[in-house]
Amino acid sequence: MTSATPRPQTTADSVPHRPMARLIATDLDGTLLRDDKSVSDRTVAALAAAEEAGIEVFFVTGRPARWMDVVSDHVHGHGLAICGNGAAVVDLHGGAGSHRFVKLRELRREDALDVVHVLRDAAPGTSFAVERTGGLHHEPTYPPLHLEPGESVAPAEKLLAEDSAAADQPVLKVLAYHPELAPDDFLTVARAAVDGRVEITRSSPSALLEISGPGVSKASTLELCCAERGITPAEVVAFGDMPNDIEMLSWAGTSYAMGNAHPDVIAAASGRTVANNEDGVAVVIEEILRDRLSA
């Protein structure tokens, strides 16, 4: 299910007793990025100002590491991003082509095969792709949703075989696409079918599900990174717009759903800011920094 227990709703300029933020965690697509996938000048300036004020900024996204070039120029300090819905922590220093995995939370091959078999029965017509550390591998019927050619094309069972050409690369997530089901309906069917054996979420407007290992999510990996830094949930401000952000927004002490967010995301967040195309993340960061100056 994608439903969440509603939290008290506030607007970006009316969060009561906003705690002293030590870390900002923000999703990318539909959140930090505008619809044209750009980072506005206002947002770039806000991110830089936050880092200069001593607030760490983590990009927390469903994107694979190879799609992080859009924000690589805007990392400061630690330079780390959480990718693949929590499956990897990546060092973005060095720019395109030199991103380095520093933490992996892989999906076991056996679990990936199990969910493929379960979803083939529960939702006939589902096609699959396998995201590994070295790239994307997909079935012949999997649509070119991002116009990205696969490293290899074969049935999922072959892609996940012990003797596959990419068997030495950890599996970060499995993608499942259905051509007819509504996105939220597909998510409901899939979660009921797998019964908690893996994590299933979605961030696409199409019926595309993202499947990670048990317990792997944006929230759980962010929690690990925060624990390593001695940062508590109360010191985290998080932003998101889609169901794969819900756990992170519920975990963070202060969280904002974008003006363009999915209804379940709005219910999970403690506040709401304006839409991504109106620089909603920057609006809140600017307010946080103003609060610091007036404290």
Q: How confident is the model at residue 286 (pLDDT cuts 50, 70, 90)?
A: very high
Instruction: Decide if pLDDT at 182 tops 90.
Output: yes
What's the mean pLDDT when you consider all of the chain? 90
Query: Distance (Å, rounded) from C-alpha 34 to C-alpha 42?
Result: 12
- Average pLDDT of the segment spanning 254-265: 97
Could you read off the pLDDT of 262-283 as tens digits, one per residue? 999 999 999 999 999 999 999 9
Distance from C-alpha of 263 to C-alpha of 3, rounded to nearest angstrom: 9
- Structure-block tokens of residue 139: 């079935």
Locate 13 and state its tokens: 């300029």
From CA 88, how far away is CA 103, in angstroms rounded?
A: 5
User: Which has more confidence, 17 or 46?
Assistant: 46
pLDDT band at 147 (very low <50, low <70, confident <90, very high): low
Examine the pLDDT at 10 and tell me if it is beyond 60.
no
In sequence order, what DSSP letters do the residues of 175-199 get, joined into one string? EEE-SSS-HHHHHHHHHHHHTTSSE
pLDDT at 210: 97
Please check whether residue 263 is in contact with residue 243, taking contact to mean a CB–CB distance below 8 angstroms: no
Per-residue pLDDT, averaged over 242-264, amounts to 98
Strand order in the sheet with 199-201: 152-153, 135-138, 127-132, 171-177, 208-212, 199-201
- To which H or E segment does residue 291 belong? helix 280-294
pTM of the predicted protein model: 0.91
Element (H, E) at 172: strand 171-177
What are 122's two structure tokens?
């529960």
Q: Which residue in the block uniquely carries the two structure tokens 């920057």? A: 282
293 has pLDDT over 90: no
CB 239 within 8 A of CB 220: no
- Domains contained in the chain, CATH given: 23-104+217-294 (3.40.50.1000), 109-212 (3.30.1240.10)
Q: Which residue has the tokens 């929690």?
A: 223
Among candidates 192, 196, 227, which has minimal Cα distance to 213?
196
For 75-87, write each residue's pLDDT tens digit: 666 678 999 999 9
Q: Per mean pLDDT, which range of 23-37, 58-72, 277-291 is the poorest? A: 58-72
Instruction: Say if residue 171's pLDDT is above 70.
Output: yes
Short-list 169, 176, 225, 232, CA closest to 199: 176
pLDDT band, very low/low/confident/very high, at 27 (cuts 50, 70, 90):
very high
Whether 4 has a pLDDT exceeding 60, the answer reads: no
Nearest Cα to Cα of residue 172 among 105, 253, 249: 105
Q: If pLDDT is split at 50, 70 and 90, which confidence band does 95 have? A: low
